[in-house]
Amino acid sequence: MVRARAVLPPPDEIAALADEQRRLAIRVTPGARADALEIADGKLLARVRARPEAGKANDAVRTLLARALDVAPSRIELLRGATSREKLFRI
């Protein structure tokens, strides 16, 4: 069974949602059927296949965001929301 590629919005649309300090708020849904990022009502929503255990979902969001913005995952830092669906990342 082949996994579908992640659905990703254009990098410039994602970057436009970041504030002047390059912080980006994301609402995360772990345990989804497929990885995806979408912009709805001016907010970034992430769906990841990983479960929220031992930081796996946070790592999956970081990797997905890095792929969408074409940067290394190490350049993306989780600032707030390690155990919450509402997360704040710095790019």
Domain 11-90 in CATH 3.40.50.150: no
Indicate the domain borders of the chain.
11-90
Length of the chain counted residue by residue = 91
| 41 Cβ contact list (under 8 Å, min separation 6) | none
Instruction: Tell me if 37 sits within 8 A of 6, measured CB to CB.
Output: yes
Instruction: Tell me if 41 sits within 8 A of 49, measured CB to CB.
Output: no
Torsion of CA 54, 58, 59, 61, to 10 degrees: 150
Residue type, 67: R
Question: CA–CA separation, 33 vs 78, rounded Å?
Answer: 23
Tens-digit pLDDT profile for the chain (91 aa)? Answer: 556 677 789 999 999 999 999 999 999 999 999 999 999 998 999 999 999 999 999 999 999 999 999 999 999 999 999 999 999 999 9
pLDDT for residue 3 = 65
Please give the model's pTM, rounded to 2 decimal places. Answer: 0.88
